[in-house]
Amino acid sequence: MGEGFDLSSFEKSMVIRQMEHEDISKVLGMQELSFPGMEPWEKEHLISHLTVFPEGQLVAELDGEVIGSCSSLIINFDEYDDRHTWDDVTDEGYITNHNPDGYNMYGIEVMVHPGYRRMKVGQRLYEARKELARELNLKSIILGGRIPNYYKYSEEMSSREYVDSVSRHKIYDPVLTFQLMNDFTLMRVNPNYLPDDKASKKYATLMEWNNVDYKPATKRHYKTSYPVRICVVQYLMRKISSFEEMAHQCEYFVDVASDASSDFVVFPEIFTTQLMSFMDEVAPSQAIRKMTEYTPQYIEMFTDLAVRYNVNIIGGSHFVEESDEIYNISYLFRRDGSIEKQYKIHITPNERKWWGISAGDAVRVFDTDCGKIAIQICYDIEFPELGRIATDMGANIIFTPFCTEDRQGYLRVRYCAQARAIENQIYTVISGTVGNLPQTENMDIQYAQSAIFAPSDFEFARDGIVGETNANLEMVLIGDVDLEILRRQRQDGTVKQLKDRRHDVYHIEYKKD
């Protein structure tokens, strides 16, 4: 039998291995060829990848030449917004947000040298990723995939329709079709994922591969969160010369809240009474009626600010004339442009004596994009029945705009807000006025220290205080509350005031429909 051909001269060596520092320049050159017109990696990005998570950075090598690569990190995907961008999930490409204790591998790039396509290089890289996910006992691999052929169809169909057509094999997309063939399933379509991906019109498909071999670790727990950011305005009452002057100040605070990515911004009770500082009305009751003429401007102002700055606004409160009666009303201006209102239910002796304010008679709970909330104006927070009724109606946060002239009055509001937070296992927020209006009857002095309160238990802020302002200074307080912690603590906290109520002994009867 003859020896035959020397087969070694025909053999090729294809390997998938971990990326090394010596590969960086090759990967950068390959990227420019693979994704023309898109912003490439910087050398510092790949150095960071190899420093933070070297196991997740792979290359395909053929006969000693790098012809493909892929990059990954590990995260807890539930910590990220559904509409996250590539920058969000990669810390702008540096993957310094990599969490070695996370549940999910996130694939941030796969590329194959254009001269070596149709050799199943991409498939080999995907399989290597899957094997790494199995070795690390991760639940899944998630990735944001380009849809580079979408630009050809964007004028005739939406991104969702395009993705659906590709999924049904009616249209071929080199990336999405490949991912579907590699056992990835579609989660959703995210807009504005990669700003420089013009071919995909900035869209990306969020795809997931589930590791069927995943075994939950006995001591490994992950808890979801539902954060809500609140900006509390402690507003300085000052003499002004026009409505526009007040509006300018309000916009400043809304801008501050928006810059901090707040979900709510809260103004104090009747801070609009500073409008009386430029009116020529001596009698308080007549000044109030004249002030109500600014109600349309007040509503228009806050509606515009809520939409323009994309933040829900608790517009403090304002005196409003309805059917010849004057009410103290707090408006919720949602960031989608819709409006709700809560009438003050308990009127103080001062409000009756000086201004003739009438009482509302309904407890309202409002739906927002951050769950259900209630508004209880100043004195109303001092009646525990209202807090319990609002909580039973589903409220997780009670906002209390207040206006008090001395420390004693302020402490009544504060202590009662803290009590409502504990007894109802909710968050409460108080926002007050400071400063003075020397020429305005019954609004001459103010005292406040605004705050955000939580129930008192291990998972909440120390002393049940999420944050508080300095007393009697104009400033804002920005704090985060977590509705998921609230839900869990209601179920298994150290004490469970809502679950442990003795309904066989007592109950609260709310007489309104």
CA 343 to chain CA centroid, Å, is: 28
162: left (phi > 0), else alpha (psi -120 to 50), else beta?
alpha
Find where tokens 């498909």 sit: 205
Catalytic-role residue among 109, 269, 382, 468: 269
Nearest in space to 268 (alpha carbons), one of 152, 377, 413, 169: 377
Catalytic-role residue among 202, 344, 382, 403: 344
Evaluate whether 395 touches 433 at the Cβ level (below 8 Å): no
Q: Within 10 Å of residue 36's Cβ, how many Cβ atoms? A: 9
Q: Has 459 been annotated as catalytic?
A: no
Q: DSSP readout, 10-49?
A: T---EEEEE--GGGHHHHHHHHHHHSTTSPPPPHHHHHHH
- Cβ-based neighbours of 135, under 8 Å, separated by 6 or more: none
Evaluate whether 474 touches 234 at the Cβ level (below 8 Å): yes
Structure-derived torsion over alpha carbons of residues 192, 198, 203, 206, reported in degrees to the nearest 10: -110
CA 359 to chain CA centroid, Å, is: 35
Nearest in space to 296 (alpha carbons), one of 368, 247, 235, 334: 247
Residues in the chain, total: 513
Q: Could you tell me the two tokens for 10?
A: 């025909």
Evaluate whether 171 touches 149 at the Cβ level (below 8 Å): yes
- Cβ-based neighbours of 86, under 8 Å, separated by 6 or more: 108, 144, 193, 194, 204
Evaluate whether 73 touches 181 at the Cβ level (below 8 Å): no
Tell me the backbone φ, ψ of residue 90, rounded to 5 degrees: -115, 5
Q: Has 344 been annotated as catalytic?
A: yes
* Cα angle, residue 400 at apex, residues 321 and 495 outer, rounded to 5°: 145
Evaluate whether 373 touches 398 at the Cβ level (below 8 Å): yes
Catalytic-role residue among 231, 250, 378, 403: 378
CA distance 354 to 284: 6
Task: Give the chain's largest Cα–Cα span.
Answer: 121
Q: Could you tell me the two tokens for 163?
A: 């993705």
Please state whether beta strands 227-237 and 312-314 pair in parallel, antiparallel, or not at all (unpaired): unpaired
Q: Could you tell me the two tokens for 313?
A: 């606004």
Evaluate whether 70 touches 49 at the Cβ level (below 8 Å): no
Nearest in space to 53 (alpha carbons), one of 22, 99, 102: 99
CA 354 to chain CA centroid, Å, is: 42
> How far lies 414's CA from each of 146, 402, 403, 426, 470, in Å?
52, 10, 12, 15, 14
> How far lies 38's CA from each of 27, 116, 216, 424, 434, in Å?
15, 20, 39, 53, 53
Catalytic residues, by residue number, are 269, 344, 378
